[in-house]
C-alpha cells in the first residue's frame, strides 16, 4: 500500500509539478514566540516544550549549515534533489521585516533550495510579512505559509493557552488568500475536552475559509510542558491509536482531493516524548491510516461536500 493511493500527499504533488523529488528541510532560526515573551501570553501553549525554547531571537546555527546537515540525511534517504527550506521552530514571522528577509534570503541562496515554507501563528501575519513572501513567489520560488490553528473552538484554544482565537485565524486566512499565498493549516487530534465531532467541525470551518494544505497530528505529551503536568495529575488522557486513525480517516475522506496533506501524523523525539508512545512509530500509524481507508473502501475526498 502507498499513502498517495488514498491521500493527496504533498510529496507526490511536488513530484508531479517539478518532475523530481523535492523535500522539506527544517530550520530552527532561533525565533521566539509572542505567547511566551508576554506580548500575547506567558508560558506558551500547554503542549509546547519549554526546554527547547530559545529566548534569543537570533539564529543559533547558520542556516547554510542546517541546510547542509539536513540535505545530507534527506538526500540519502529519499534521493531528493531539491528542497524547500522549512522555517519550523516557534514563530517564524515574529521579528522585524529586515531580519526576516535576511534569514529567508540565506535559505534561498542555496542553489538546490526552490522554496520557502514558513510556520507561524495566525496573529503574527502582517502586511509586510505577506509582501515579503509574495516577493519570493514573484522570483519563482515555491512559497507556503503554515499556520498553527489546532482547533476552531475558542474554548479549546483557551484551554491549551494558545493566546489567540478562531477570529485571528479567519483574518489571517483572508489576508493570505488575497495575496495568493498557499496556506497549510496545522490541526491537532486529541486536544483536551475535544471529541471526534470537534475535529470534523474544525475541518469543516477550515475548508469553508479555504486552504491549500493540511497537517494532522496527535497531541503529544512531551517533557517540561504544562500538559505533562496535567497528564501526570490524571487531568488529561491522550487518544489511543485506533481512535486517532479513525478520526484522521474521517477527516481525510471529508477533504477535497485538490488539497494536499503535508502530514497525517507526527511524532516527537524519544528523549522528550512521554505519551502517547504509539505515535513514535510513524510508519505503523501511516500504515494503519491506509488500512483504515482501504477497509472502508474510501480515499481523500470520497465524502467531501
**Positions in the binding site for ligand SF4 (CB under 6 A):** 33, 35-36, 44-45, 48, 90-91, 121, 148
Choice between 20 and 42, CB closer to ligand SF4: 42
Cell (9 digits) for 72: 545530507
- Rounded to 5 degrees, φ, ψ at 220 are -90, 145
Encode 256-291: b = buried (16+ Cβ within 10 Å), e = exposed. eeebbbbbbbebbeeebbbbbebbeeeeebbebbbe
Question: Smaller CB distance to ligand SF4: residue 36 or 262?
Answer: 36
- Rounded least distance, CB 68 to ligand SF4, Å: 25
Closest CA to 3 of 201, 91, 12: 12
Q: Which is nearer to ligand SF4, 24 or 36 (CB)?
A: 36
Name the residue nearer to ligand SF4 (CB basis): 14 or 214: 214
Q: Nearest distance from residue 6's CB to ligand SF4, in Å? A: 29
Q: Which is nearer to ligand SF4, 44 or 115 (CB)?
A: 44
CA distances from 191 to 69, 187, 188 (A): 34, 10, 7
Determine the Cα–Cα distance for residues 51 and 73; give it in Å rounded to an integer.
25
- Within 10 angstroms of residue 125's Cβ, the number of other Cβ atoms is 23
Minimum CB separation from ligand SF4 for residue 48, in Å?
A: 3
Amino acid at each position: 500500500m502507498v499513502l498517495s493511493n488514498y491521500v493527496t500527499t504533498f510529496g507526490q504533488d511536488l513530484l508531479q509539478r517539478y518532475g523530481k523529488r523535492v523535500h522539506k528541510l527544517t530550520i530552527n532560526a532561533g525565533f521566539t514566540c509572542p505567547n511566551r515573551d508576554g506580548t500575547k501570553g506567558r508560558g506558551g501553549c500547554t503542549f509546547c516544550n519549554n526546554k527547547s525554547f530559545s529566548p534569543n531571537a537570533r539564529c543559533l546555527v547558520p542556516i547554510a549549515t542546517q541546510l547542509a546537515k539536513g540535505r545530507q540525511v534527506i538526500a540519502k534517504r529519499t534521493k531528493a534533489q531539491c528542497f524547500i527550506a522549512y522555517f519550523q521552530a516557534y514563530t517564524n514571522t515574529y521579528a522585524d521585516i529586515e531580519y526576516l528577509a535576511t534569514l529567508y534570503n540565506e535559505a534561498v541562496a542555496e542553489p538546490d533550495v526552490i522554496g520557502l515554507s514558513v510556520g507561524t501563528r495566525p496573529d503574527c501575519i502582517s502586511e509586510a510579512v505577506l509582501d515579503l513572501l509574495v516577493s519570493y513567489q514573484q522570483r519563482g520560488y515555491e512559497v507556503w505559509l503554515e499556520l498553527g490553528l489546532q482547533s476552531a473552538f475558542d474554548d479549546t484554544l483557551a484551554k491549551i493557552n494558545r493566546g489567540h482565537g478562531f477570529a485571528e485565524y479567519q483574518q489571517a486566512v483572508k489576508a493570505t488568500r488575497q495575496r495568493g499565498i498557499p496556506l497549510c493549516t496545522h490541526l491537532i487530534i486529541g486536544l483536551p475536552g475535544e471529541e471526534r465531532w470537534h475535529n470534523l467541525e474544525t475541518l469543516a470551518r477550515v475548508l469553508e475559509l479555504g486552504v491549500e494544505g493540511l497537517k494532522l497530528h496527535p497531541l503529544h505529551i512531551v517533557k517540561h510542558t504544562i500538559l505533562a503536568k496535567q497528564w501526570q495529575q490524571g487531568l488529561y488522557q491522550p487518544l489511543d491509536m485506533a481512535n486517532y486513525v479513525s478520526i484522521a480517516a474521517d477527516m481525510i475522506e471529508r477533504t477535497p482531493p485538490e488539497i494536499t496533506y503535508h502530514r497525517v501524523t507526527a511524532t516527537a523525539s524519544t528523549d522528550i516524548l512521554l505519551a502517547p508512545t504509539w505515535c513514535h512509530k510513524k510508519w505503523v500509524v501511516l500504515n494503519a491510516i491506509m488500512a483504515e481507508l482501504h477497509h472502508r473502501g474510501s480515499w481523500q475526498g470520497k465524502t467531501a461536500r
